[in-house]
Amino acid sequence: MHDKLGEIVQIAASAYGSDISKYDDMFLKQVAEKRFACANVTNISEYVQYLSNNPDEVGALLRSLHITHTDFFRNPLTFAHLEQWILPSLLEGKPEASELRIWSAGCSSGQEPYSIAMLVENIHTRKSRPLRYRIIATDISGSALLQATKGEYREDEIQRIRVKDLKDFFIKTGDTYTVSDRLKQHVGFSTYDLLDNRYSCPQESIFGNFDLVVCSNMLFYYKPNHQQYIVRKLIDSMDKFGYLITGEAERQVVENFTELYQVAPPSPIYKQRRGVR
Ligand SMILES: C[S@@+](CC[C@H](N)C(=O)[O-])C[C@H]1O[C@@H](n2cnc3c(N)ncnc32)[C@H](O)[C@@H]1O
């Protein structure tokens, strides 16, 4: 690790007890550099100096490390696969009394799990069987989860949602679009740190066994050993026949796990080899 980054890690540990050594060095450096203007410094040495004299800046840096950017139907190709064959086949394969179990890990402010819920609802209206599904949506960020639970989005945040879906699943009040109870009743939000080694999966899920696990656009913030730790945890939480979906830029992490194979290249959608029928 770059000496100066090491010093930043030390400062964060002593000021807030936070271990930021888990973050990828390049990411940490970029986030620190984005803080230069606010700290009125021009290089990393000056920034380290500034940090050691300004505890508030340490807090600001820690907050900047939590990137919660997201969108509805963020990766269109992956969502097309979900809509066209993954969710239909999962729903079709479920015995009538059992429920479809989905985990959105690192769900940010809810756009990802609500997008999946819209797809499930739409697929179901084309079938005659009763619909039973549960989406466990977790994140480490309390503020993101608060917005997710409220399910309120601005006009600029709902641009990727089809007009029909907006009409069917949202209530418009002024400029705010609120997710309807029809979707909310199937999505449960809770705090869960994927690096927490006390729990192998969210407590709400009781035993994991998910048919679909989505963990996208968060692995690349971490160092390789932490990325591997998270992916191992995700695999262990999957049903034998289940699917794992990551972000586009995270394929390389998953490719280290030989028990997985990519089902629809180039999309980052995986299954376990032991579940090949
Ligand atoms: C960039 S957002 C991606 C959101 C969504 N998955 C998507 O693809 O649009 C990354 C999310 O991962 C969450 N996150 C980062 N580290 C985490 C961890 N260790 N455990 C759980 N969530 C984490 C962040 O709080 C953030 O909300």
Cis amide prior to 266 (ω within 30 degrees): yes
pLDDT in tens, 43-76: 999 999 999 999 999 999 999 999 999 999 999 9
Which residues' Cβ are closer than 6 Å to ligand 1?
Answer: 66-70, 74, 106-108, 112, 139-141, 144, 193-195, 216-218, 247
pLDDT over 80 at 276, yes or no? no
From the CA of 108, give the closest atom in ligand 1. Answer: 27
Among 64, 218, 219, 230, name the best residue to mutate to test ligand 1's pocket (greatest count of ligand atoms within 8 A of Cβ). Answer: 218
pLDDT at residue number 126:
64
**What percentage of residues in the chain have a pLDDT greater than 90?**
86
**pLDDT score, position 229:** 97
HEC sequence for the chain: CCHHHHHHHHHHHHHHCCCCCCECHHHHHHHHHHCHHHHCCCCHHHHHHHHHHCHHHHHHHHHHHCCCCCCCCCCHHHHHHHHHHHHHHHHHHCCCCCCEEEEEECCCCCHHHHHHHHHHHHHHCCCCCCCCEEEEEEECCHHHHHHHHHCEEEHHHCCCCCHHHHHHHEEEECCEEEECHHHHCCEEEEECCCCCCCCCCCHHHCCCCEEEEEECCCHHHECHHHHHHHHHHHHHCEEEEEEEEECHHHHHHHCCCCCEEECCCCCCEEEEHHHCC
Alpha carbon of 259 to ligand 1 centroid (Å): 25
pLDDT given for residue 127 in this prediction: 66
Exposed / middle / buried, residue 266 (Cβ in 10 Å: 0-12, 13-18, 19+): exposed
Ligand 1 center from residue 97 Cα (angstroms):
32
Predicted local confidence at residue 275, as pLDDT: 77
Distance 23 CA to ligand 1 centre (A): 13
What local confidence, expressed as pLDDT, does residue 131 receive? 78
Reported as a single tens digit per residue, the pLDDT across 168-206 is 999 999 999 999 999 999 999 999 999 999 888 888 877
pLDDT surpassing 90 at residue 35: yes
Q: Ligand 1 centre from 106 Cα, in Å?
A: 4
- The mean pLDDT value for 127-136 works out to 83
Instruction: Kindly state the average pLDDT of the residues 72-92.
Output: 96
**Residues 200-254: pLDDT tens digits?**
888 887 777 999 999 999 999 999 999 999 999 999 999 999 999 999 999 999 9
Buried b (16+ CB within 10 A) or exposed e, 212-239: bbbbbbbbebbbeebbbbbbebbbebbb
Q: Quick one: pLDDT at residue 130?
A: 78
Q: Please give the Cα distance from 159 to 74 (Å, whole number).
A: 11
* Cα 63 to averaged position of ligand 1 atoms, centre (Å): 13
- Of all protein residues, the one whose alpha carbon is nearest to atom 3 of ligand 1 is 217
pLDDT at residue 1, as a whole number = 54
**Distance (Å) from CA 138 to ligand 1 centroid:** 9
Q: Average pLDDT of the chain?
A: 94
User: In testing the pocket of ligand 1, which one of 23, 66, 108 has its CB within 8 Å of the most ligand atoms?
Assistant: 108
